[in-house]
Amino acid sequence: MAAWREIGDDRLVAAVVGRDAEAARACLEAGADPDTPGPDGLPLLCTAVAGFDHESADALSEGGADPGIELPDGTTPLLRAVDLGSPAVVEGIVGANPQMRLDANPRLALGEAARTRLLDLARHWYETGAEEELRRRTGATGPATRRLVRDGEFTDVDEVSLGGATVRDGYAAILTLLECAFGITAPVAELVARAVRYPDETHVNWSEPNFVLARRWGARTWAELAPLRHHPDPDHRRFLADVLWGRYFHACHCEDRKQDIAGDAAFVADWVLDEPDGPVLAAVLNVHLYQDISDEEAIGLRYAGHPDPLVRRQVPYYLTPSGAAGAAALLALAGDPDARVRSITAGVLGRPRALVPAAREALLTLIHDPELGVRAAAAESLALSEDRTAEVTESLAALLDEEDQSLRLEGAFALAVRDDPRTDAAYARVGLLSDPKFEHDHRVGEHWRYEKRRRAARSSERPSERPDTA
């Protein structure tokens, strides 16, 4: 039994060193020791932390690894994670729900001194700045190397290197995350200040305070957030718009929270009429779209000619090809200089599956657009439409000559749904779909459905083999 356990521990080491979190989970489920020493003699959790491997850190922590075990240098795996600045790794250790209170979190059994030490370290890095702290620690001079990297599944963070040391500058997010885990309610103004230092909605230091405030309900919180609408700095106003989107999203998934956002719709409806900054207005429009509104087309027409392409990218969602004014605006947007505007417009033009003539002509033009994303959107709208004319079918068949495999697949799919006899050859032209993104793609399965329909049709055409009993 001991020999099997040793083999399992060795496999766990290999899995974590190889950044194979699924294999690590399998080893742990089979009984491997989550605190197995890694190649450096420290617990494997330290190996995951040092490699910014949040998935292995999560697997080990879920499997029972001790984040608070004292190491020879007096640190702990969790303290090292905080020091290296990756919010994804810290969250991987403390748990998938960073707002779970300490006394209810099975992954955290930390005393007051340990919690204070973690918070103080995160705050020190945040207030000092990653580059300055690295310079102090390494004694290096000159500028640091800074690059944006993906941290976790959805967010980015700056990775900073200087004097042979590398950290991720996610300390604002880590501080916010730890406060939630430890049941500390940070002031609204402080959370906003942390976020606006990193004015990018994909940056983790922006998204984590946003995450917290979007779930902090109550009149007092709203009374502190609402004035941001008139803040002179556009980044503060854009942050508020993102918080409003988060409030809406989470209320939709929590029935008893819907009353907490009852006044948000009117607030956004007023705001969308007078916001002067383009990027902020685009964010407000994005929130406004999901409210219960009756003047959609009027808002879309109001901003159809806005100079900022970020605003114009929101406009097509407000319009419909079935109305005269909306159709005219959409046709103008189909020729917009911004490729993303044209792409979104192509998608909206295909909303009514029975294409109106003007939408059909616009899509037949956009399917030849120089930008791949525009061609893809137009192709999808035409492929899914009810249009079975030869002109549309041949335009879709021509996609089989595209270099992009996804576009070739769109062409094959379009022929399949139209029961075109070229379907088998079309799917052969698509080639081997080795990219995992195609695993559950509905267009792949349409080939099988086409074959099924064809077999059924052949079967129904066969003469009956039952003997004549007349």
Position 334 pLDDT exceeds 60: yes
Q: Using one digit for the tens of pLDDT, what is the confidence trace for 154-172?
A: 999 999 999 999 999 999 9
Asked, for residue 425, whether it belongs to a domain, the answer is no
- Domain check: are 50 and 19 in the same one? yes
Asked, for residue 7, whether it belongs to a domain, the answer is yes
Q: Which amino acid belongs to residue 217?
A: W
**Plot region of 70 (φ>0 → left; ψ -120 to 50 → alpha; else → beta):** beta
The three-state (H, E, C) secondary structure of the chain, written as one string: CHHHHHHHHHHHHHHHHCCCHHHHHHHHHCCCCCCCECCCCCEHHHHHHHCCCHHHHHHHHHCCCCCCCCCCCCCCHHHHHHHHCCHHHHHHHHCCCCCCCHHHCCCCCCCHHHHHHHHHHHHHHHHHCHHHHHHHHHCCCCCCEEEEEEECCCEEEEEEEECCEEEECCHHHHHHHHHHHCCCCCCHHHHHHHHHCCCCCCEHHHHHHHHHHHCCCCHHHHHHHHHHHHCCCHHHHHHHHHHHHHHHHHHHCCHHHHHHHCCHHHHHHHHCCCCCCHHHHHHHHHHHCCCCCCCHHHHHHHHCCCCCHHHHCCHHHHCCCCCHHHHHHHHHHCCCCCHHHHHHHHHHHCCCCCCCHHHHHHHHHHCCCCCHHHHHHHHHHHHHCCCCCHHHHHHHHHHHHCCCHHHHHHHHHHHHHCCCCCHHHHHHHHCCCCCHHHCCCHHHHHHHHHHHHHHHHHHHHCCCCCCCCC
Structure tokens at 63: 């499997």
Asked, for residue 339, whether it belongs to a domain, the answer is no
The residue out of 293, 316, 342 marking a domain boundary is 293
CA distance 264 to 290: 11
Position 333 pLDDT exceeds 50: yes
Report the pLDDT value the prediction gives residue 467, as an integer from 0 to 100. 53
- Domain check: are 242 and 180 in the same one? no
**Average pLDDT score over the chain:** 91
Report the pLDDT value the prediction gives residue 295, as an integer from 0 to 100. 79
Q: Using one digit for the tens of pLDDT, what is the confidence trace for 182-204?
A: 989 999 999 999 999 999 999 99
- Domain check: are 121 and 154 in the same one? yes
- Domain check: are 158 and 252 in the same one? no
Position 103 pLDDT exceeds 80: no
CB 191 within 8 Å of CB 176: yes
* Percent share of the chain, pLDDT over 90: 80
Res. 460 pLDDT band, cuts 50 70 90: confident
Give every CB contact of residue 134 below 8 A, 6+ residues apart in sequence.
Answer: 140, 144, 160, 161, 162, 163, 165, 167
Asked, for residue 435, whether it belongs to a domain, the answer is no
Report the pLDDT value the prediction gives residue 290, as an integer from 0 to 100. 85
CA distance 228 to 237: 6
Position 131 pLDDT exceeds 90: yes
Report the pLDDT value the prediction gives residue 468, as an integer from 0 to 100. 54
What is the pLDDT averaged over residues 273-300?
A: 91
Q: Which amino acid belongs to residue 455?
A: R
- Domain check: are 115 and 235 in the same one? no
Position 130 pLDDT exceeds 80: yes
Position 257 pLDDT exceeds 80: no
- Domain check: are 204 and 173 in the same one? no
Position 245 pLDDT exceeds 90: yes
Report the pLDDT value the prediction gives residue 259, as an integer from 0 to 100. 73
- Domain check: are 100 and 239 in the same one? no
Res. 99 pLDDT band, cuts 50 70 90: very low
- Domain check: are 175 and 62 in the same one? yes
- Domain check: are 7 and 145 in the same one? yes
Asked, for residue 18, whether it belongs to a domain, the answer is yes
Report the pLDDT value the prediction gives residue 431, as an integer from 0 to 100. 95
Count structural domains, the chain. Answer: 2
- Domain check: are 212 and 180 in the same one? no
The residue out of 235, 260, 293 marking a domain boundary is 293
- Domain check: are 114 and 7 in the same one? yes
Q: Using one digit for the tens of pLDDT, what is the confidence trace for 363-407?
A: 999 999 999 999 999 999 999 999 999 999 999 999 999 999 999
pTM reported for the whole predicted model: 0.87
Residue span of the structural domain in which 177 resides: 1-184
- Domain check: are 112 and 35 in the same one? yes
**Plot region of 164 (φ>0 → left; ψ -120 to 50 → alpha; else → beta):** left
Query: What CATH number is associated with residue 38?
Result: 1.25.40.20
Asked, for residue 180, whether it belongs to a domain, the answer is yes
Position 251 pLDDT exceeds 90: no
The residue out of 293, 317, 348 marking a domain boundary is 293
Asked, for residue 301, whether it belongs to a domain, the answer is no
Asked, for residue 393, whether it belongs to a domain, the answer is no
Position 294 pLDDT exceeds 90: no
Question: Rg for the chain (alpha carbons), in Å?
Answer: 28
